[in-house]
Amino acid sequence: MKKIALIAFVFFAGIACTNEYLAPDTVPSHSVIFTSEMDFGNRVQVNGRMTFGDVSAGIVSRDWTFPSGVDILGSDDDIKSTESVVKVVFKNAGQYEIKLHQKFQNEAFVNGKVAGTESDTTFVITVLDSVKVDMKVQKIDRNNMPAESLNLRTEAQNEIEAGKFVELTPELIGEPETVTWILEGATPSTISSMEPVRVKYKKLGVYDVKLIAFRNRPNGGDTLEYKSLIKVIPSSDPVTLDAVSNVPGSPTSIALNFSRDMDPASLNPANFNVKVTNEDLPISMKVNTVSLKAGEENVVMLGLSSPIYNDDEIEVSYSGALKTSDGVAANSFENKSLSFIKNNLLAASVFDEGFENSLEENWPYQWWGGIWGEYNLKISNTVSHSGNKSARIEYKPNGGMIIGHKVNGEVARFKAKSGKKYEIGYWLRVESIGKNKVGTGVPDIRFYWEPGTNWGVGGVELTEDLPLNKWVYIKAPYAEFNEDGDYQFWIRGFNENNPESVIYYLDDISISEVSLRPK
């Protein structure tokens, strides 16, 4: 009894401390309205039920107004209702506005604010169609464009040459949340995407295509499947070797990238030969194993008897019975040079290695005086090794160049570490080398770095040994840095002994950590 009395005391004390007073016969007015889908965006599926409720305090009257296309359950009037709870069915897809007009005994609280004795509210309801799917499937032509559409019926067995792509486009009704393709025999075989997708069929066979769409709320889904829709037949395309490269992280591996998927049963290490030289000295090398790369059956992996290094010259030859997964023989080849895959440190820096985001003022003269300011530099879209731009550089007659690189007014730097070897490389397209005086220093390009500049680092001479009007990869002398830190490049050009201009295009500068063969 003491506990009850104490509670009562606190309650009345609380009333005494408030600034407002309600007479005993005053009914508080407070708008409280809801829909059964208010926590889910007020979305419902066609023919799905939805509830509207008005449980406001102090209500005198209410009037619900519904648009056409709505069935008010339990009522002959599908437009008006005065009930506190109204259950309806939406018969057509679209957006609907449901209006509620309320009258209260006193000024009512609406959304936390006093809003007078009358209030109007509009609910916007989205009614979705039932989830339905259809699809369009097209072959991809030699121009890499969608072309002929497939006949969409079970057992159609549309013929697709092995190694070719098809494009699949979902056609969706009802705003599904997930769309999944199940593509037997394709690579990849499962894709989740509402956008058109492209897949490759590599192996001979007859395959099904299935499309599944699902919506969690309002719940719904649809599945469309065609059995034996695609028949993969042997390709008429030639088999080409597109690239020979190292395998980063695996110094005893070589990757042969073919244009078509290969048959693992046709692989034989005895059919491959790898020739390795370093500074013209032969290095003994054997092919111990041969396999296909997991998930990329067009890549043949050669396992070597010992490691290869970035300063090695490597050539691969093949003669044997190698064939594609659809039975087409691969031609023999001899002395295909290996290109090393390297990680360009400039790609992770602000340095614009490809000149795609540069202006001339981003490559300023470094004010050495003398011949070193006798040059012209222009960012050009005339030719490029990659992307759309390159730097067109002219050493004036008896001139030279020294430039750096700035981005937003700051020196563009890259990170390097001590104790490592780095390959500095770039792509060069020479237009003119002039006529240098015989017996004098020839035009060249040198890449210096700062801090810790090595003034004795060699350059690449611009002589008749370089082809004209053809992109070639130039490998500058290997670089070493004194300590871990941030470095910048100075690019120096020399043409002091040449009475004519030297003109070339520069693109795709790189600096990459390399592993050199121990001496």
Question: Do the domain assignments include residue 206?
Answer: yes
Contact 243, 219 (CB under 8 A): no
**Model pTM score:** 0.62
Distance CA(303)–CA(317), nearest Å, equals: 14
Check whether residue 508 and residue 472 sit in a common domain.
yes
Domain ends where: 208, 233, 258? 233
pLDDT of residue 24: 44
pLDDT of residue 203: 82
- The pairing of strands 158-161 and 220-233 is parallel
Name the token pair of 213.
């769409």
CB neighbour class for 198 (10 Å; exposed up to 12, middle 13-18, buried from 19): middle
User: Can you give the residue range of the structural domain that contains 90?
Assistant: 24-128
Asked if residue 218 has a cis previous peptide bond (ω within 30° of 0), the answer is yes
Distance CA(505)–CA(384), nearest Å, equals: 8
The yes-or-no verdict on residue 113 having pLDDT over 90 is no
Name the β-bridge partners of 186.
201
Distance CA(72)–CA(86), nearest Å, equals: 7
Question: Do the domain assignments include residue 111?
Answer: yes
pLDDT of residue 3: 30
Question: Do the domain assignments include residue 4?
Answer: no
Check whether residue 353 and residue 468 sit in a common domain.
yes
Domain ends where: 282, 304, 337? 337
The yes-or-no verdict on residue 466 having pLDDT over 90 is yes
Question: Do the domain assignments include residue 8?
Answer: no
Distance CA(211)–CA(93), nearest Å, equals: 23
Check whether residue 431 and residue 363 sit in a common domain.
yes
The yes-or-no verdict on residue 15 having pLDDT over 80 is no
Is residue 383 classed as helix, strand or coil in its secondary structure? Answer: coil
Check whether residue 310 and residue 373 sit in a common domain.
no
Domain ends where: 315, 337, 359? 337
At 488, which CATH number? 2.60.120.260
16-25, 217-226, 490-499: which is most confident = 490-499
At 316, which CATH number? 2.60.40.1220
Check whether residue 380 and residue 450 sit in a common domain.
yes
Distance CA(367)–CA(373), nearest Å, equals: 7
Q: Which amino acid is at 435?
A: K
Check whether residue 310 and residue 254 sit in a common domain.
yes
Q: What percentage of the chain reaches a pLDDT higher than 90?
A: 84
Distance CA(66)–CA(282), nearest Å, equals: 89
Is residue 373 classed as helix, strand or coil in its secondary structure? Answer: helix
Check whether residue 253 and residue 374 sit in a common domain.
no
C-alpha 496: how far from its chain's center?
47
Which residues are CB-neighbours of 178 under 8 A, at least 6 positions away? 192, 213, 214
Question: Do the domain assignments include residue 16?
Answer: no
More confident residue, 16 or 513: 513
Check whether residue 329 and residue 437 sit in a common domain.
no
Domain total in the chain: 4
At 167, which CATH number? 2.60.40.10
Average confidence score pLDDT of the chain:
91
pLDDT of residue 297: 87
The yes-or-no verdict on residue 74 having pLDDT over 80 is yes
Residue pLDDT, tens place only, 171-199: 999 999 999 999 999 988 999 999 999 99
Distance CA(514)–CA(340), nearest Å, equals: 10
Question: Do the domain assignments include residue 2?
Answer: no
Say which range, 200-204, 288-292, 433-437, 442-446, has the weakest mean pLDDT.
Answer: 200-204
Check whether residue 106 and residue 218 sit in a common domain.
no
Check whether residue 416 and residue 463 sit in a common domain.
yes
Question: Do the domain assignments include residue 150?
Answer: yes
How far apart, in Å, are the Cα atoms of 362 and each of 90, 351, 355, 379, 413? Answer: 63, 10, 10, 10, 13
Contact 84, 55 (CB under 8 A): yes
Say which range, 19-23, 220-224, 461-465, has the weakest mean pLDDT.
Answer: 19-23
Taking residues 400-421, what's their average pLDDT? 97
Check whether residue 325 and residue 449 sit in a common domain.
no
Question: Band of the pLDDT at 204, cuts 50, 70, 90?
Answer: confident
Residue pLDDT, tens place only, 81-112: 999 999 999 999 999 999 999 999 999 888 88
Question: Do the domain assignments include residue 18?
Answer: no
Question: Band of the pLDDT at 393, cuts 50, 70, 90?
Answer: very high
pLDDT of residue 184: 95
Contact 327, 289 (CB under 8 A): no
Check whether residue 225 and residue 363 sit in a common domain.
no
pLDDT of residue 106: 92
pLDDT of residue 187: 85
Distance CA(17)–CA(482), nearest Å, equals: 78
Which residues are CB-neighbours of 427 under 8 A, at least 6 positions away? 385, 471, 472, 473, 474, 506, 507, 508
Taking residues 416-427, what's their average pLDDT? 96
pLDDT of residue 6: 26
DSSP at 346: G
pLDDT of residue 26: 55
Residue pLDDT, tens place only, 265-309: 999 999 999 999 999 999 999 999 999 999 888 999 999 999 999
Which residues are CB-neighbours of 250 under 8 A, at least 6 positions away? none
Question: Band of the pLDDT at 27, cuts 50, 70, 90?
Answer: low
